[in-house]
Amino acid sequence: MLYHALPSPDRSQTQLAYKLKYYPKISLSPAARKFIWHTIHIVYTKALLLEHVNADRSQLFFRGTYIPIVWEFNNIPTEEEWNKYKDTDYIAVEYRKSALIPGKYVAILSFSNGPRGHAVS
């Protein structure tokens, strides 16, 4: 398939919307960053992150609401990869708000080497 045919224009189905949903802010072009309304970076331990996810582990509780979880670059770890990480290992979360993201909010997860920025342990 050369392209995805849409019955009507839908900006949430564009490559830009995909990048806004899955790519870390540092990987986005200055033009793409203009579509991000708000970003917060927090580093959790694996154990603390698990305390804040819903029952089906698809959303993360933050500031009174559940936000959909995605993995950086849409690179979802396998169960085996996930289990290699100890409860004391770090996972970085970039909370993001943009009109081009379905539901406007997303929590972008990535494995981290340690706390930086706004760390929570």
84 burial type by CB count under 10 A (0-12 exposed, 13-18 middle, 19+ buried) = exposed
Where are the chain's structural domains? Answer: 11-119
User: From residue 118, how far is each of 41, 57, 82 by CA, in Å?
Assistant: 6, 23, 23
Q: How far is CA 78 from the centre of its chain?
A: 17
pLDDT by residue (tens digit) across 67-120? 999 999 999 999 999 999 999 999 999 999 999 998 999 999 999 877 665 545
Q: What is the pLDDT of residue 32?
A: 94
- DSSP H or E run through 107: strand 105-112
Q: What is the pLDDT of residue 121?
A: 44
Q: What is the pLDDT of residue 14?
A: 84
Q: In this structure, which amino acid lies at residue 64?
A: G
Q: Look at 118 and 46; give whichever has higher pLDDT.
A: 46
pLDDT by residue (tens digit) across 52-72? 999 999 999 999 999 999 999
**Torsion angle in degrees (nearest 10) through CA of 81, 82, 83, 89:** 110
pLDDT by residue (tens digit) across 12-29? 678 899 999 999 999 999
Instruction: Residue 43: name the closest of 102, 88, 77 by CA.
Output: 88
Q: HSE on the CB side for 24, CA within 13 Å?
A: 13
Q: What is the pLDDT of residue 42?
A: 94
